[in-house]
Amino acid sequence: MSTEDTHRLIAQLKDLHYGTPSDTALRNELYDALIRATVAIESPLDTVRRLSFAPLQLSIAKIAVDLNLFEIIVNQDGPADVAELAQVTKAESLLLRRILRYMTSFDMIAESGPDSFKASTKTKSLATPGFQAAIKHQLSWPQRPAYLCDTMVNTIRFSFEAQLPAWVAMPKFLHDTNYQNPIDPRHTAFQQAHATPLAAFEFAMTRPELFADFSKWMALQRHDQPTWLDVFPIERISQAAKTIELSQPVFIDVGGGVGHQCAALVQRLPELSCRVRLQDLQPVVERAIPGTGVEAQAYDFWTPQLCLNAAFYYLRNVLHDYPDERCRVLLEQQLPALGASSVLLIDEMIVPSVGASRHGVELDIAMMASLAAIERTEGQWADLFRSVGLCVVETFCYDPQTGQSLMVVVPQTQ
């Protein structure tokens, strides 16, 4: 299909908002064709994300039914903001904002501005008692959580075994905790679902096959997607390499999984071979990608950083695994290692205040369900860094759709 035809088709599809075929059979045929077309244009990553995160939609719809959100939003006079909705539902506003953002992204309600929401035609359908009953029926609270039981398979297995039980448990967990935003990684829907006192990462460590699935998924989770290396001026890394001792690592990937980002960096800058270091827990570095010229080191990031004065300390998708309090502890373990010209490179999603992507909100809720963690907005990142004496001096966005970005972070005094 030519670019011109594609643009024409997109315009026609957007017009569907203004009216669908009145002939039911024709509408059904169009619906079927659109679903198949959506699947047909999916990348392999889109496919695995669709399958892995689909159950979240039902879980969030159930929470909305429990909070009576569909009816409240349909019956309000014009848009309502998070504070008003928090007052009516008694849910904590931060938690409610995250739920409403997800609902907007999946067209259950509409966004009318930052933190402001209104009913859409779908909200009206979902406020119907019969439809609400259907949602309740599909996801009734379990009495005793039933234990359910190449890389795409690892992901689906990981989502199914580790995450899905937490998503099923989430509506009851939030009800039982009076709809407060979870902030304790050992007190989330995950513990309820898996009947464990352990935090999700600790639990995964007791299930080596689950942890292996997780590590493989981390290595491939953004397969074929742009990365920080597409936007960050990597000549800064080669320059820095010339200014520090040859025996010193230049770049450290803290919590770097099996070393996929380190390997990608050395591929672009082969002269850095042996000066790029991967740090992660022992069982993970044992499975580090071999033959990449990357030095792997077992390191627990809740303890003081072992390697002093490196030029760059890189953390990708690590801070989004933890609530603010834990992030502060983690960052404080790194700070004493920083030399005068060291910087932190924080590779994370920056969720926009309006129009968050579907995948962004999926991850946000998934982080909350299992880890009491959060995908942060620009303001939330700034607050977190400020609280430990750090600030963002540059931001390189490499995926505008999700807000995936590299933040250059330094001590405030620098």
Ligand X SMILES: C[S@@+](CC[C@H](N)C(=O)[O-])C[C@H]1O[C@@H](n2cnc3c(N)ncnc32)[C@H](O)[C@@H]1O
Token pair of 5, please?
């035809």
Active site includes 359?
no
Min dist CB 302 to ligand X, Å, is 5
CA nearest neighbour of 168 among 311, 62, 240, 266? 62
User: Is position 82 an interface residue for ligand X (rule: CB under 6 A)?
Assistant: no
Written as six digits, the tokens of 88 are 């009516």
Task: Report CA-CA distances (Å) from 343 to 76, 91, 310.
Answer: 49, 39, 8
Q: How far is the CB of 108 from ligand X (least distance, A)?
A: 28
Structural element, H or E, at residue 404: strand 404-411
Q: How far is the CB of 204 from ligand X (least distance, A)?
A: 8
Site stretch for ligand X (CB under 6 A), options 29-37, 87-95, 293-301, 373-381: 293-301
Q: Please, is 266 exposed, middle or buried when counting C-beta atoms within 10 Å of its C-beta (0-12, 13-18, 19+)? A: buried
CB of 404 to ligand X, least distance (A): 11
**Does 15 sit near ligand X (CB under 6 A)?**
no
Contacting residues for 111 by C-beta, under 8 A, at least 6 apart: 104, 117, 118, 354, 355
Angle at 171 between CA 175 and CA 50, to 5 degrees: 160
The three-state secondary structure class of 369 is helix
Q: Which of 194, 260, 320, 359 is catalytic?
A: 320
Please identify, using beta-carbon distances, which residue of 237 and 345 lies nearer to ligand X: 345
Binding residue for ligand X (CB under 6 A) from 256, 259, 323, 360?
A: 256
Report the distance separating Cα 382 and Cα 392, nearest Å. 7
Token representation of residue 165: 């039980």
Q: Does residue number 289 form part of the binding site for ligand X (CB under 6 A)?
A: no
**Per CB under 6 A, which region of 36-44, 59-67, 317-325, 332-340 contacts ligand X?**
317-325
Closer to ligand X at the Cβ: 91 or 250?
A: 250
Based on the shown chain and the rule CB under 6 A, indicate whether residue 259 belongs to the binding site for ligand X. no
For residues 161-220, which are near ligand X according to CB under 6 A? 201, 218
User: Which amino acid appears at position 236 of this protein?
Assistant: R
Span near ligand X by CB under 6 A; candidates 10-18, 249-257, 375-383, 394-402:
249-257
Residue closest to 365 by CA, chosen among 133, 96, 178: 96
Q: Is 141 in the site for ligand X (CB under 6 A)?
A: no
Question: Which residues carry out catalysis?
Answer: 320
Q: Which residues bind ligand X (CB under 6 A)?
A: 201, 218, 255-257, 280-281, 284, 299-302, 316-318, 321
